[in-house]
Amino acid sequence: MDATEQSSADARRYARIRYRLMLIELGGWLVFLLGYQASGLSVLVAGQALAWTPVEALQLAAYLAAFGACAYLVFLPLHLYGSFFLEHRFGLSRLTWLRWCIRELKQVALSAAFSLFLFEGLYALLRAAPATWPLWATLGWLLVSVGLARIFPTWLLPLFYKTSRLTDDALVQRLLALCERARLSVLGVFRVNLGVETRKANAALAGFGHTRRVLVSDTLLERFEPEEIETVLAHELGHQHHRHITKLLFLSAAGSFLAFSLVQMFASRGMIALGFDGLTDLAGFPLLLLALWAIGLVGLPLQQAISRAFEWQADRFAVHLSGKPSAFAGALRKLGELNLADPAPPKWVEWLFYDHPPLPQRIRAAETAVVSS
């Protein structure tokens, strides 16, 4: 077996394990939420939180701390295998055990703070506006999404990766010229040090307005030709040209409003029928989360289909803007090899899990693309 065949075989094995882990996690959350509720543990924890303090915000914080700690410990073996041992097994991760633990602590702290912020806001709306909370929750989620996009390159990304301005002047000018052709202003081109953690490569546009910048991983810079890097950025510029980010924000808002409205109409009645005091009852938190999770899962195939359609648009734009279909196909091929992309994903996996079209399809489309003059 030559190197290409071995890489393809590794990619297939890696993907199959990933798919199984995803399914186990989906089923695991269903079992966990039902078990946490049915066992009486949620009622017990909520009772302790209410007895500890009369302040509703602190009651919720105490409950969420216990719930989150329990969920983290239950899923830790699965998470540890998927994010550390599996990645090392296939040579994708370069993290030492200590660095993985440090990164994990950062992620847990950030996730906990973000979740607390979201649920404190949600429960405040449930109490203050029981009739109209879906509308206000949707507006709040939209504002949070925009805010996160703005602070990602300046506040969140540096927590995990070292970034610096790219010093390759020729490449910087090439990429900035590409942005100008796409009529997009950017703050600059920045190098992101992914190589200390992984062999995976990527490039992106991050931020909004004056914070928007081009991000290029060091792994991309090391292994890709300038023309290939240019086409990868051209794909990202395609998302901006077609206003995919804005469209996704509004689609997310519409989906969120529908989900919140369904929860208001049906989940609240179900919780009252089961003896809880409506959606604001802490003891019924797992049922509230289960309702949101189930609605999100039902809508996931549509969400993924829309995302794949946007990716096709961005691919076509990349070929048109760069005028280099062969370089784009080569870049996609290298990305697939580095990231161990599945060369032949099953249709049900593509339908449920893929927010990008399968890479072999994208490569074939780029290879056969006709560039208009």
Phi, psi at 191, each rounded to 5°: -95, 130
CB-based burial, 108-131: b 16+ in 10 Å, e otherwise: eeeeeeeebeebeebbbbbeeeee
Q: Which residue ranges make up each domain of the chain? A: 3-367
Find out whether 299 and 43 touch, Cβ atoms under 8 Å. Answer: no
Residue 1 is predicted with a pLDDT of 54
Q: Can you give the pTM of this predicted structure? A: 0.93
**Residues across the chain:** 373
Tokens of 168: 């390759």
How far is the C-alpha of 218 from the C-alpha of 167, rounded, in Å? Answer: 12
Residue 208 is predicted with a pLDDT of 80
What is the residue-level pLDDT of the chain in tens, covering all 373 positions? 566 677 789 999 999 999 999 999 999 999 999 999 999 999 999 999 999 999 999 999 999 999 999 999 999 999 999 999 999 999 999 999 999 999 999 999 999 999 999 999 999 999 999 999 999 999 999 999 999 988 888 889 999 999 999 999 999 999 999 999 999 999 999 999 999 999 999 999 988 878 899 999 999 999 999 999 999 999 999 999 999 999 999 999 999 999 999 999 988 889 999 999 999 999 999 999 999 999 999 999 999 999 999 999 999 999 999 999 999 999 999 999 999 999 999 999 999 999 999 999 999 999 998 665 4
Residue 154 is predicted with a pLDDT of 85
Q: How far is CA 168 from CA 126, 175, 191, 306, 330, in A?
A: 53, 11, 10, 36, 22
Find out whether 284 and 42 touch, Cβ atoms under 8 Å. Answer: yes
How far is the C-alpha of 323 from the C-alpha of 366, rounded, in Å? Answer: 11
Angle at 109 between CA 103 and CA 113, to 5 degrees: 145
Q: Which residues lie across from 217 on neighbouring strands?
A: 192
Q: How far is CA 190 from CA 127, 197, 201, 212, 361, in A?
A: 45, 18, 14, 11, 30
How far is the C-alpha of 148 from the C-alpha of 155, rounded, in Å? Answer: 9
25 burial type by CB count under 10 A (0-12 exposed, 13-18 middle, 19+ buried): middle
